[in-house]
Every structure is written in structure tokens, then in C-alpha cells.
């Protein structure tokens, strides 16, 4: 099996290619090929319609003594699908088509027949003009007259259409401009509405943020008010000097009142004045007869009532301590 795949085959030394017999085949021999019907046709024997694209096992042969520009022409033999009658057609390289030859008629060939008729007329005219110059002049004048008539008829048709249509081009342009203006106004209104909605959303968000900030500030103020539960907390807490208004003044007054209730007012005769007791001078100081001591004791006694009248409880306490120091001396 591997011998059929080799590229270089063995040739014996006495090989002579001229001795190989040549196969002589007839020129009009036929081949069996698979093809499709190139056009619609109808069988002449039974009237069966054979449509374009129908597949057949056909016999193919080369037409003898027929060439077109050196190209060979082939003939095909098929059989009718109903009566098995033989139908033949051949290639037509001049028209790039197929020509019906025997056994059937080609359908839907009106366009091709018209083209062939036009070509025939054109060839006859050229042959006439080739040998007769007067015929050329007559044909040219006839063509010019036909062209003028065609143009006149076309102009008449245009005028008739314009009268019937009654198209106002100015009105059409005005309508188009009006439509464009409305479209622009609609777009501007949509843009303004969108910007307004965006601004409203931003304002609502800002108001919510401000409300939350105010709530936090109120909570802080409430916490600051409730911090000083004891009256003496005013000594350890800092006094707020900011612009609080009447609320801050009221807080200060409450703190001062609580301090005065617990300790007493400064510069006013309070509860500590009753706790301090004056020390009366001893009788021995008058019996000793010391001249220098008498004026001093009298001065101290004179100072004590003045201080008790004008000073506070703390000043009385100071005067009391001064008298003790003088007595001890």
C-alpha cells in the first residue's frame, strides 16, 4: 500500500517512452456529466415542464466544425422526466448563454427575442448607411425630429404635473423652518426642565444637611446644659463667652445663684459672719497700766467694729486673726 505514495518511481535502464502505445479516442466521443437545466423548458412530446435548476445525468460532446473565437462549443443530451424523450441544447459563448436545439421549447424568452430583433434592425441600418450617404442624412434628421418630439412631450408632462400638483415651494420651506424652530424650542424647554430638577434636588439635599447640622448643635447645647448638675461645677468648667444671647446669661445667673446659696455672697454679710465670734479684751490689760498697750488695744477695738460694719465675713475673720497676733505679742 505504501508503493502508491512514492514520488520517484523506478524506471528500468532499457525504458523507452516512445514504445508506449498511445490511446486513440474519437473526437466526438461523449462523457457522462452531472448538470442542471440552464433555463425553463417544455417537452414537445408530452408537454412536461422542466424548470431551471433541475438536475440531470447528461451526456456531453464537442460540436464538430463549430468554434467561436477559438472556443469550442459543447452539446448536452438529457431525457424528459416524464416520457424519457431526448432533449438537446448547446452552449452559446457569443451571448454567454445556452441555445435550445431539439426536443423542447424554451419558455419566458420574450426579452431575449426583443433584444435579437433590435440587434437585427441595427445591423440592417448600418449596412444601408455604409453604401448610401443620403440615407445617413435622412436617418440623422429623423433622429433629431424624434428627439425634439420627445423633449416637447416631456416638457408638457412636467407642466401638466405642476398644474395638477400645485406645489407651493415657499410654503414647504416655511413649514420646514417652523418645524425646525419648534424642535429647537422643545429641546431648550427640556434642557431647562432638567436643570431645574437638578437644582431642586441639590437644594433639598442642602436643606437636609443643614437640618441635620442644627439637630446636632441642639443636641450639643442640651448636653452642655445638663452637664452641670452640681452647684459647684461652675468652678471647674469654663464659662462660654460666645454670643449665646439670653440663654447664656440665664445659665450664668443660675450658676451664681447656686454658688451664693451654697457658699454665700462676696462683699455682703452672709452666713459666715454669724459663725465668726469677736474676741473681747481681757480686764487685765486695763489693770496693767501699760501706756503703750492701751492705745494699741483701743485702736484694735476701734478697728473691729468698723470692719464688722463695712467689711464682709472674710474681712472680720482677717481682723480676728490680726487681734490674736497683737495679743500674742
- 286 falls within a domain: no
Looking at the fold, whether 89 and 151 belong to one and the same domain comes out as no
Count of Cβ atoms closer than 10 Å to residue 259 Cβ = 16
Residue 295 domain-assigned? Answer: no
**Boundary of a domain, candidates 46, 76, 107:** 107
In-domain check, residue 152: yes
pLDDT at residue 47 above 80? yes
C-alpha distances in angstroms, 269 versus 255, 257, 260, 312, 316? 20, 16, 12, 5, 10
Q: Between these two residues, 111 and 249, which has the higher pLDDT value? A: 111
Residue 170 reports pLDDT greater than 70: yes
Q: What is the per-residue pLDDT for 53?
A: 93
Q: Choose the weakest-confidence range: 12-16, 20-24, 172-176, 241-245.
A: 241-245
Task: Give the mean model confidence (pLDDT) for residues 69-82.
Answer: 94
Residue 224: band (very low, low, confident or very high) from pLDDT cuts 50, 70, 90:
low
Q: Is 43 annotated as a binding residue?
A: yes
Q: Which residue has the higher pLDDT, 197 or 214?
A: 197
Tell me what the pLDDT averaged over the chain comes to: 76
Domain boundary, last residue among 64, 92, 107:
107
pTM, two decimals, is 0.36
Say whether 114 counts as a known binding-site residue. Answer: no
Q: Where does a domain end: 168, 184, 200?
A: 184
**314 domain residue, yes or no:** no
Q: Provide the 10 A C-beta neighbour count for residue 17.
A: 6
Q: Is residue 309 part of a domain?
A: no
In a domain, 206, yes or no: no
Domain with 135, as residue range(s), is 109-184
Q: What φ, ψ does residue 322 adopt, rounded to 5°?
A: -65, -40
What is residue 13's predicted lDDT score, i.e. its pLDDT? 93
User: 237 lies in a domain?
Assistant: no
**Which of 252-256, 263-267, 314-318 has the least mean pLDDT?**
263-267
Q: What confidence tens digit (pLDDT) does each residue in 148-164 have?
A: 999 999 999 888 887 76
Tell me the β-bridge partners of 71: 68
Reply yes or no on whether the pLDDT at 190 is more than 90. Answer: yes
pLDDT of residue 2: 60
Q: What is the pLDDT of residue 58?
A: 96
Burial of 161 (0-12, 13-18, 19+ CB in 10 A): exposed
C-alpha cell at 199: 437644582
Amino acid at each position: 500500500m505504501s508503493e502508491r505514495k512514492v514520488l520517484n518511481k523506478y524506471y528500468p535502464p532499457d525504458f523507452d517512452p516512445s514504445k508506449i502505445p498511445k490511446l486513440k479516442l474519437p473526437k466526438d466521443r461523449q462523457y457522462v456529466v452531472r448538470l442542471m437545466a440552464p433555463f425553463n423548458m417544455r417537452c414537445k412530446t408530452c408537454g412536461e415542464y422542466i424548470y431551471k435548476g433541475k438536475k440531470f445525468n447528461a451526456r456531453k460532446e464537442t460540436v464538430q466544425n463549430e468554434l467561436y473565437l477559438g472556443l469550442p462549443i459543447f452539446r448536452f443530451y438529457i431525457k424528459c422526466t416524464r416520457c424519457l424523450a431526448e432533449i438537446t441544447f448547446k452552449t452559446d459563448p457569443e451571448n454567454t448563454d445556452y441555445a435550445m436545439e431539439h426536443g423542447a421549447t424554451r419558455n419566458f424568452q420574450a426579452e431575449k427575442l426583443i433584444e435579437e430583433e433590435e440587434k437585427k434592425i441595427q445591423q440592417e441600418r448600418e449596412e444601408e448607411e455604409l453604401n448610401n450617404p443620403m440615407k445617413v442624412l435622412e436617418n440623422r434628421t429623423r433622429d433629431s425630429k424624434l428627439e425634439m418630439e420627445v423633449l416637447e412631450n416631456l416638457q408638457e408632462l412636467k407642466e401638466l404635473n405642476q398644474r395638477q400638483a400645485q406645489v407651493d415651494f415657499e410654503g414647504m420651506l416655511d413649514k420646514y423652518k417652523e418645524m425646525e424652530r419648534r424642535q429647537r424650542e422643545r429641546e431648550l424647554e427640556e434642557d431647562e426642565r432638567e436643570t431645574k430638577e437638578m437644582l431642586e434636588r441639590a437644594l433639598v439635599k442642602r436643606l437636609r444637611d443643614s437640618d441635620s447640622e442644627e439637630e446636632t448643635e441642639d443636641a450639643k447645647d442640651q448636653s452642655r446644659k445638663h452637664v452641670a448638675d452640681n452647684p459647684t461645677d461652675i468652678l471647674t468648667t469654663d464659662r462660654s463667652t460666645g454670643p449665646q444671647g439670653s440663654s447664656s446669661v440665664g445659665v450664668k445667673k443660675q450658676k451664681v445663684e447656686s454658688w451664693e446659696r451654697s457658699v454665700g455672697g462676696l462683699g455682703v454679710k452672709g452666713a459666715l459672719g454669724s459663725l465668726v465670734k469677736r474676741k473681747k479684751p481681757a480686764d487685765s490689760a486695763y489693770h496693767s497700766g501699760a501706756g503703750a498697750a492701751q492705745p494699741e488695744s483701743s485702736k484694735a477695738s476701734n478697728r473691729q467694729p468698723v470692719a464688722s460694719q463695712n467689711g464682709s465675713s472674710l474681712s472680720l475673720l482677717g481682723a480676728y486673726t490680726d487681734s490674736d497676733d497683737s495679743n500674742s505679742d
